Amino acid sequence: MQKSSFYRRQSRGNVLFIILIAVVLFAALAAAVTSSQRGGGTMDRERGLISASDYMGYASNMEKTVARMLSQDMSENQLSFQNANWTFNDTNPVETAAMFPNCTTETCKVFSPAGGGLDAKTFADNMPDTPQANDIKSGHAGVFSMKVTGVGTTAHDLVLMIAVLDKNTCMQINSQMKITNPSDAPPADSWAGATLYGGGFTGPNNATDEIGDIATQIAGKSAGCITRSGGPYGSLDNWFYQVLLPR
C-alpha cells in the first residue's frame, strides 16, 4: 500500500511538471509570435524607407541636373527628356524626340552623356491586373507642365511624375517630406488636365492641372506622393512627384 501511494504521488508530480512545461512553452510561443508581428511591421517600414530613398534620391538628382543645365545659358524651353525607357502600358514611349523641337543638340538632352548625363530610370512595377493602355506604366515616369500649389508662382512648374507606387513607399516618402498621410493613406488629388512638357509650359490653367489645391497637405512641398483621385486603380493609384523647376 505504501508503494502504491508513493507511485501515485510521483505520477501526480510528473503530470504537474509536464503541465508547467507546457505553460512555459505556450508563453514563449505567444511572445515569439508577438515579437514576429512587431518585427514584421518594422521590416515593412524599413523596406518602405529604403524604397522611398531610392525615388527621392533619383528625383533630387534630376532636379539638380536641370538646374545645372539651365545655369549654362540654356533656356527652360530647350530642355529635352527624350528617352526610350519610359513607356505607356501600350509600350509606346512617353517622351519622344518629336515632343522637343526646341532641342537641336545633344547638350540640351537630360538623358544624353553630352547633356545632363542621367539615366531614365525605372522603378518597381506595382501595376494592377487591368492596366489602362494610355496610362504611364507603373515605375515609369513622365515630365509634366503643371502647377503645385504654394511652389513658385501661379505659373506652370516643371514636374516629374513617377507612376503607381506601392502604398508603403508612398507614405514613407510623405513622412520624410513632413506631409501628413490622412486616415493612414496618402493625400488624394487629381491632375487630369496636366500635359506632358514639350518645350513649353501650357495647360488649361485651372484646377485640372494643379495638385495641392485639393490635397492641401502637399501645398508648398516640392516633392511628395499622392493618390490620383478618380483614377482607374483606386487606392493603388499612388504617384510620386518632384518639382524640377518651380516657376
**Of the candidates 246, 84, 86, 47, which has an alpha carbon nearest to the alpha carbon of residue 156?**
246
Q: Residue 28 belongs to what H/E stretch?
A: helix 2-70
CA-to-CA separations, 146 to 49, 62, 163, in angstroms, rounded: 27, 17, 16
pLDDT tens across the length of the chain (247 residues): 555 554 555 555 566 656 766 665 566 555 544 444 445 556 676 787 788 999 999 999 999 999 999 999 899 999 999 999 999 999 999 999 999 999 999 999 999 999 999 999 999 999 998 999 999 999 999 999 999 999 999 999 999 999 999 999 999 999 999 999 999 999 999 999 999 999 999 888 888 999 999 999 999 999 999 999 999 999 999 999 999 999 9
Q: Report helix angle 2-70 to 167-176, nearest 10.
A: 70
Reference 161, options 196, 130, 128, 185; nearest CA is 196
Give the Cβ contact number of residue 78 at 10 Å: 19
pLDDT for position 238: 98
Amino acid making up residue 163: A
Residue-level pLDDT at 36: 46
Answer whether 0.85 is exceeded by the pTM. Answer: no
Pull the grid cell for residue 44: 515593412
Task: Annotate 50-110 with DSSP letters as a single string.
Answer: HHHHHHHHHHHHHHHHHHHHHTTT--TTT-B---SS-BBTTS-BSS-GGG-TT--SGGGBT
Number of helices followed by number of strands (H, E) in the chain: 2, 7
Please tell me the distance from the alpha carbon of residue 61 to that of residue 66, in angstroms, as a whole number.
Answer: 9
Task: For residues 127 and 146, give the distance between their C-alpha atoms in angstroms, rounded to a whole number.
Answer: 24
